């Protein structure tokens, strides 16, 4: 049964059916119903949510989304993260998995504080109506009031029952959303927060030797993962290497909360990698790219770890090549959601 403002989506070749509220996307409605369609970025860029529309009408939120190639468009393929059903629909999708984390919820949240971390990174803390249900390393979609711009941001804290959502955001020069966040949004402003999303969350029952790699904008997700490991009952058995990257020392921020987390973990080692070859006062920093730092610093034990990574696609792609293609790490020991 659907209400007049919902449309029924049926999945071809199966008995899977779910309701999609008017204005919601095919992908998010599926996840809210516990139907795990494939996806990564939720923003129209990675292409991992492609599907075929067999019957019904869809509105395309972002007709020029880079996630579809010209060949996909010729074949009539679509992106579930950008498709809003306008009628009941029949769709053909890839493999469906159960949703292993909290189901995403849309809610209003109020901006409570803004804290500068570096010259171009700030922490934004929001208070939402309901509890903050998410796993360390996941992200939420934030719709900003000014211009209705929506972007993905990873939580930098842990899920909690008092509705607190923290994000570390890096300013993008002339970026649409970050200009609003950094220059216009004031404490007390309301945003729409929709989440959690993402597959690159801490697997607390797997390998207790982990490496977290956060390039620039990826720092928040990695803070959350380190805090998540430190909050586990057996935290003393965990070995964690955290790699943070930037161009120069002024791009790096290591929050105080990580120092406290380090006291609970068996071992926490923080490495920094600086890609600009100029002078630096930080003698311990690796000079080069993040993926090179990981390979050099963990040489000999690279394949002992499970990896979590977040940051620009150039960084996660280079890391995947270095670890999986060049060093023989099993691809299922590297978790990341592309920030594209």
Ligand X SMILES: Cc1cc2nc3c(=O)[nH]c(=O)nc-3n(C[C@H](O)[C@H](O)[C@H](O)COP(=O)(O)OP(=O)(O)OC[C@H]3O[C@@H](n4cnc5c(N)ncnc54)[C@H](O)[C@@H]3O)c2cc1C
Please report how many Cα atoms fall inside a 13 Å half-sphere around the Cα of residue 125, on the Cβ side. Answer: 11
Name the residue nearer to ligand FES (CB basis): 199 or 297.
199
Burial class (CB in 10 A: 0-12, 13-18, 19+), 9: buried
What element of type H or E holds 180? helix 176-183
Interface segment toward ligand FES; rule CB under 6 A; list 34-42, 156-164, 218-226, 301-309: 34-42
CB of 313 to ligand FES, least distance (A): 11
Pull the structure tokens for residue 58: 């869809």
The answer to whether 193 touches 142, Cβ cutoff 8 Å, is: yes
List residues bridging with 274 in a β-sheet.
246, 287
Residues in contact with ligand FES, shown as a per-residue x/- string from 72 to 91 under the rule CB under 6 A: -------x-x----------
Q: Is 217 in the site for ligand X (CB under 6 A)?
A: yes
- What part of residues 80-139 is at the interface with ligand FES (CB under 6 A)? 81
Among 178, 224, 272, 306, binds ligand X (CB under 6 A): 178
CB of 246 to ligand X, least distance (A): 13
* 57 contact partners, CB below 8 Å, separation of at least 6: 85, 86, 87, 89
Q: Is 224 in the site for ligand X (CB under 6 A)?
A: no
What CA–CA distances, in Å, run from 314 to 2, 124, 159, 287? 43, 25, 29, 18
Interface segment toward ligand FES; rule CB under 6 A; list 43-51, 53-61, 283-291, 293-301: 43-51
- What part of residues 251-310 is at the interface with ligand FES (CB under 6 A)? none
Interface segment toward ligand X; rule CB under 6 A; list 24-32, 171-179, 259-267, 320-328: 171-179
Q: Is 47 in the site for ligand FES (CB under 6 A)?
A: yes
Helices 313-320 and 290-297: angle between axes, nearest 10 degrees: 30
Q: Are strands 17-21 and 6-11 parallel, antiparallel or unpaired?
A: antiparallel
Helix (H, G, I), strand (E, B) or coil at 173: coil
Among 28, 44, 84, 255, binds ligand FES (CB under 6 A): 44
Among 21, 56, 62, 280, binds ligand X (CB under 6 A): 62
Name the residue nearer to ligand FES (CB basis): 31 or 329.
31
Residue 39 touches which of ligand X, ligand FES, none (Cβ within 5-8 Å per kind): ligand FES
Residue 238 touches which of ligand FES, ligand X, none (Cβ within 5-8 Å per kind): none
The answer to whether 5 touches 22, Cβ cutoff 8 Å, is: yes
What CA–CA distances, in Å, run from 75 to 49, 50, 99, 154? 15, 11, 29, 33
Residues near ligand FES (CB under 6 A): 39-42, 44-49, 67, 79, 81
Query: Given the rule CB under 6 A, which residues bind ligand X?
Result: 41, 43-45, 62, 139, 150-154, 167-170, 172, 175-178, 198, 217, 220-221, 337, 339-340
């Amino acid at each position: 049964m659907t209400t007049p403002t919902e449309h029924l989506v049926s999945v071809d070749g199966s008995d899977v059916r779910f309701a999609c509220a008017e204005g919601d996307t095919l992908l998010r409605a599926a996840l809210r119903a516990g139907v795990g369609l494939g996806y990564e970025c939720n923003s129209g860029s990675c292409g991992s949510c492609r599907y075929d529309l067999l019957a019904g009408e869809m509105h395309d939120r972002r007709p020029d989304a880079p996630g579809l190639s010209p060949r996909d468009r010729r074949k009539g393929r679509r992106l579930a993260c950008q498709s809003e059903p306008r009628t009941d629909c029949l769709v053909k999708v890839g493999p469906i998995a159960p949703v292993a984390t909290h189901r995403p919820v849309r809610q209003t949240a109020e901006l409570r504080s803004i804290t500068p971390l570096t010259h171009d990174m700030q922490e934004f803390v929001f208070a939402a109506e309901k509890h903050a249900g998410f796993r360390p390393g996941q992200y939420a979609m934030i719709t900003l009031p000014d211009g209705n711009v929506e972007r993905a941001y990873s939580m930098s804290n842990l899920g909690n029952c008092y509705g607190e959502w923290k994000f570390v955001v890096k300013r993008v020069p002339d970026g649409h959303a970050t200009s609003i966040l950094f220059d216009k949004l004031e404490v007390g402003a309301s945003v729409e927060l929709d989440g959690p999303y993402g597959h690159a969350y801490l697997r607390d029952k797997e390998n207790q030797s982990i490496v977290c790699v956060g390039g620039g904008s990826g720092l928040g997700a990695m803070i959350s993962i380190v805090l998540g490991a430190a909050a586990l009952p057996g935290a003393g058995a965990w070995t964690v290497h955290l790699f943070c990257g930037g161009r120069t020392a002024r791009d790096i921020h290591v929050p105080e909360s990580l120092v406290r987390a380090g006291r609970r973990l068996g071992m926490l080692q923080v490495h920094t990698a600086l890609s600009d070859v100029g002078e630096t006062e930080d003698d311990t920093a690796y000079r080069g790219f993040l993926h090179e730092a990981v390979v050099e610093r963990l040489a000999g034990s690279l394949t002992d770890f499970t990896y979590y990574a977040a940051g620009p696609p150039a960084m996660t792609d280079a890391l995947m090549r270095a670890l999986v293609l060049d060093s023989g790490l099993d691809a299922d020991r590297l978790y990341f959601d592309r920030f594209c």
